[in-house]
């Protein structure tokens, strides 16, 4: 009887080692893929975005600011940078206010899953951006009105991932 148990143990050990090696290999490949996706060449990283807006304490509206982050270019009317966080069917901020003719750079960071950013009336289309990554787009707000910005990934827009760009005189 003891000889049978020893025989079974000898056969089980190589099988257990093989299973362990397969699991280790799968983890190594998964780690490689994860690292590779985080260093994608399609991402435009802006390590020092200039935030020329402040978040209102009463809502998610952005308003103009004379913050210390403004550069001479911003004051001279060049390009204003707005940082947007995209996460779980929402954008933060939910509203952006600009003056007609302003050049704006949207810097979007996907916080939790893949997101994109679109404003149809200005032909603004950021590519799908993976969680933890950032993309940016620059355009001129040359039309007065209220315009919806949204995420077109899956059902994100229908689930409420929208915001409003207000361009005033």
Question: Does one domain contain both 23 and 65?
Answer: no
Would you say residue 123 has pLDDT above 90? yes
Lowest mean pLDDT among 33-37, 98-102, 127-131: 33-37
- Which residue would you say has higher pLDDT here, 168 or 64? 168
Do 11 and 67 belong to one domain? no
pTM of the model: 0.57
Instruction: Let me know whether 35 and 82 are in one domain.
Output: no
Residue 142 lies in a domain: yes
Taking residue 78's Cβ as centre, other Cβ atoms within 10 Å add up to 12
Residue 85 sits in a domain of what CATH number?
Answer: 2.60.40.420
List Cβ neighbours of 76 (8 Å cut-off, separation of 6 or more): none
Pair (24, 62) in one structural domain: no
Q: Which residues pair with 53 in a beta bridge?
A: 64
On whether residue 44 sits in a domain, the answer given is no
- Considering the domain architecture, whether residues 153 and 71 belong to the same structural domain is answered as yes
Q: Are residues 153 and 93 in the same domain?
A: yes
pLDDT at residue 138 greater than cutoff 50: yes
Q: What is the mean pLDDT of residues 90-110?
A: 96
| Residue 18 sits in the same domain as residue 87 | no
Helical H runs in the chain? 2-38, 72-75
Q: Other C-beta atoms within 10 Å of 133: how many? A: 20
135 located within any domain: yes
34 and 100 fall within a common domain: no
Q: Is the model's pLDDT at 38 over the cut of 90? A: no
Residues 29 and 112 in one domain: no
Q: Which domain holds residue 13?
A: 1-39
In a domain, 48, yes or no: no
CA 32/CA 69 separation, integer angstroms: 38
Say if residue 146 is in the same domain as residue 120: yes
The structural domain count of the chain equals 2
CB count within 10 Å of CB 143 equals 11
């Amino acid at each position: 009887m003891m000889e049978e148990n020893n025989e079974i143990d000898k056969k089980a050990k190589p099988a257990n080692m093989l299973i362990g090696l397969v699991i280790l290999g799968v983890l190594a490949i998964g780690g490689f893929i994860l690292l590779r996706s985080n260093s994608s060449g399609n991402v435009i990283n802006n390590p020092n975005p200039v935030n020329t807006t402040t978040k209102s304490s009463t809502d998610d509206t952005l308003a103009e600011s004379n913050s210390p982050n403004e550069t001479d270019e911003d004051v001279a009317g060049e390009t204003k940078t707005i940082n947007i966080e995209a996460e779980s069917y929402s954008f933060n901020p939910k509203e952006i206010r600009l003056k007609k003719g302003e050049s704006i750079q949207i810097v979007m960071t996907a916080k939790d899953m893949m997101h994109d950013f679109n404003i149809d009336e200005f032909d603004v289309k950021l590519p799908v951006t993976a969680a933890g990554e950032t993309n940016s787009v620059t355009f001129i707000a040359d039309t007065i009105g209220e315009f919806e910005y949204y995420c077109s990934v899956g059902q994100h827009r229908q689930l409420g991932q929208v915001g409003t760009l207000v361009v005033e005189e």
